[in-house]
Structure 1
Amino acid sequence: MTEDEARAALLARREQLAQEARISAEGRAPVTLQQDSVGRLSRMDAMQQQAMAQAQDRRRKSEAVRIEAALIRLNEGEWGWCVTCGNEIAERRLAHDPSVATCVACAGGGN
């Protein structure tokens, strides 16, 4: 994967995450506690769905942070090099996820 391909993939994924966040905003909204309009089980289900939407939003935000860090590394000429040990990150690993910051050894706790 070239740096241009990585940049394009990262930017596309960043936009996709932003779009997913806009779509799921309603699912993260507070659950109303009106006994007369929603039964107890329906409220519990709504609260569970809200919790799942919030967890998914946290994962999206975490991925967005990794993408931004990868874009910074690209701009600084550091993309493709492990931020822990400085070794080159395997091309197949970068092709799978261009936002990775560590080599396999460091990701596994080997260093």
Structure 2
Amino acid sequence: MNESDARTALSQRLAELNRLDALSAEDRAPVTLQQDSVGRLSRMDAMQQQAMAQAEERRREAERARIRAAFARLDEGEWGWCVRCGEKITEGRLRNDPSVAACLSCASGEN
């Protein structure tokens, strides 16, 4: 994967994350207390749904941070090189996730 392909893939993933945020905005909204129309179990289900949507939003934000860091490495000419040991990250690993910052050895704790 070359740098141009990486930029394209990263941009597409950011767009997908934004789309998913828009779709789940209602699920993350505060759960209102309406005892007259919603029973206690229904409200508990709604609160659980909200908590899961908020957790997913946090995961998407963490992925956005990794993508922003990958763009920074691309801009600095450091993309594709392990941030820990400085070795080249394998093509397959970058193709699978162009936002990875470490080689497999460092990511697995071997280095």
* 1:29 Cα deviation from its structure 2 partner: 0.5
Matching residue of 1:92: 92
Matching residue of 1:40: 40
TM-score (norm 2): 0.98
Q: What amino acid is the match of 1:59?
A: R
Q: What amino acid is the match of 1:41?
A: L
* 1:54 Cα deviation from its structure 2 partner: 0.4
Matching residue of 1:29: 29
Q: Secondary structure, in 3 states, of the residue corresponding to 2:33?
A: coil
- Matched pairs, number: 111
In the alignment, the residues of structure 2 paired with residue 64 and residue 19 of structure 1 have an alpha-carbon distance, to the nearest angstrom, of 13
- What is the percent sequence identity of the aligned residues? 66
* 1:66 Cα deviation from its structure 2 partner: 0.3
* 1:24 Cα deviation from its structure 2 partner: 0.8
RMSD of aligned residue pairs (Cα, Å): 0.6
* 1:33 Cα deviation from its structure 2 partner: 1.3
CA shift digits 1:39-82 (9 cap, x unpaired): 01100100010011001000000000000000110111000000
* Structure 1: 5+ residue stretches without partners: none
* Structure 2: 5+ residue stretches without partners: none
Matching residue of 1:55: 55
* 1:19 Cα deviation from its structure 2 partner: 1.4
